Chains A and B, each alone.
Chain A
Amino acid sequence: DIQMTQSPSTLSASVGDRVTITCRASQSISTWLAWYQQKPGKAPKLLIYKASSLESGVPSRFSGSGSGTEFTLTISSLQPDDFATYYCQQYNSNSLLTFGGGTKVEIK
């Protein structure tokens, strides 16, 4: 199985800050990586797929990069609506999909 490790697990930041979240895969997954945002009591929302493709309707302050085993999600200027938990997900194999453990972005 491919293990996904996110860091940090919690991040404290202020509105306007540039925020970067890292996701590492236990083996190469090319660019088969997605990022989701989840708010308390809500379903996750797709932000990024194929490591760097922005989902329709997602603000351009969100961006993704990386390939192989190391990936990043960047929020260029944190907005009040962005305080949430973020998950990466690998889909190198369509029959064995795994998520990272999550990164909670909190208000500093």
Chain B
Amino acid sequence: EVQLVESGGGLVQPGGSLRLSCAASGFPFSSYWMNWVRQAPGKGLEWVANINQDGSEKYYVDSVKGRFTISRDNAKNSLYLQMSSLRVEDTAVYYCARDHSVPGVVFDSWGRGTLVTVSS
């Protein structure tokens, strides 16, 4: 069974930093693109970033470019999101999501999410 478990969320002040982790199990982690998707309270879904199998390709939504860094450790079956210069508008539940094996980026497995609150 595919499992994705996020951790690392919490309350942080504007301008602060936070590192999210996603522990993957139940599938060959190193064979899949991985993603972070977020959802602000009461709002819709927003794709944040993704990374290819060996970490050589990374893409970000414009609003986080230069502030967030996605990375992975295939030996530890783990995905990360380093967030810095956090803003109030970054407040959201952050989901780790696996890319489907079909062509294109489609999210076929999701974690339960971890809440990041940016507030003074």
Residues of A within 8 A of B (CB): 1, 32, 34, 36, 38, 42-46, 49-50, 53, 55, 87, 89, 91, 94-102
A98-B47 in contact given A43-B95, A43-B112, A55-B108 (Cβ < 8 Å): yes
Choose one: B44, B59, B107; the contact of A96 (CB below 8 Å).
B59
Residue of B whose beta carbon sits closest to that of A34: B106
Please count the residue pairs between chain A and chain B whose beta carbons lie under 8 angstroms apart in the complex: 59
Determine the chain B residues whose CB is within 8 A of the CB of A55 once the complex forms: 108
Are B110 and A94 in touch, CB under 8 angstroms?
Answer: no
- The CA-CA distance from A34 to B35 in the complex, in Å, is 15
Encoded as 1 (CB less than 8 Å from any A CB) or 0, chain B from 37 to 56 comes to 00000001111001000000
Determine the chain B residues whose CB is within 8 A of the CB of A43 once the complex forms: 95, 110-113
- The CA-CA distance from A62 to B39 in the complex, in Å, is 24
A94-B104 in contact given A43-B110, A43-B113 (Cβ < 8 Å): yes
Are B106 and A89 in touch, CB under 8 angstroms?
Answer: yes
Choose one: B59, B106, B112, B113; the contact of A49 (CB below 8 Å).
B106
A97-B47 in contact given A43-B110, A43-B111, A55-B108 (Cβ < 8 Å): yes
- The CA-CA distance from A38 to B47 in the complex, in Å, is 15
Are B45 and A44 in touch, CB under 8 angstroms?
Answer: yes
Determine the chain B residues whose CB is within 8 A of the CB of A102 once the complex forms: 44-45
A-B residue pairs in contact (CB < 8 Å), sample of 23: A1-B62, A38-B45, A43-B112, A44-B107, A44-B110, A46-B100, A49-B102, A49-B104, A50-B104, A89-B107, A91-B106, A94-B50, A94-B105, A95-B50, A96-B59, A96-B61, A97-B47, A98-B47, A99-B46, A99-B47, A100-B44, A101-B44, A102-B45
